Amino acid sequence: MAAAFPYLIGNRDENVIPMLEGSKPWPLASTKEEKEMKKLSAGDDSTLGSYRKLASAFFGEDSKAVEFLDKKITDQGEDQEVIQDESQMVYLLSHMALK
């Protein structure tokens, strides 16, 4: 493939689409790549533990939001990445806490 497309950008394997010279590569979905963890607006990693810390500070230790996150942490671990958008998570947790 590289011989047919001398302007191939990337790691020169089957997971890269050939691009015009000077453009950025568009890798196909690959399980080999490790993506950087999303960050919260406060600068922390987007993990269950980070959301629990924030929910505890805003809603209190005995809130339903903290209880929900504690169950998730028990099942998946404190360092499990939360891929949901931060604004949607804040809405979810505040809705749980205020009911």
34-84 confidence digits (pLDDT tens):
678 889 998 999 999 999 999 999 999 999 999 999 999 999 999 999 999
My answer on whether 65 and 27 are in the same domain is no
In a domain, 19, yes or no: yes
Q: Are residues 54 and 79 in the same domain?
A: yes
* Whether 52 and 28 share a structural domain: no
Q: Which residues contact 38 (CB under 8 A, 6 or more apart)?
A: 45, 46, 81, 82, 83, 86
Average pLDDT over residues 7-20: 49
**pTM of the model as a whole:** 0.65
Domain that holds residue 67: 48-97
Using CA atoms, how far apart are residues 94 and 64, in angstroms rounded to an integer?
A: 9
Number of domains in the chain: 2
Q: Do residue 54 and residue 83 come from a single domain?
A: yes
Does residue 85 share a domain with residue 54?
yes
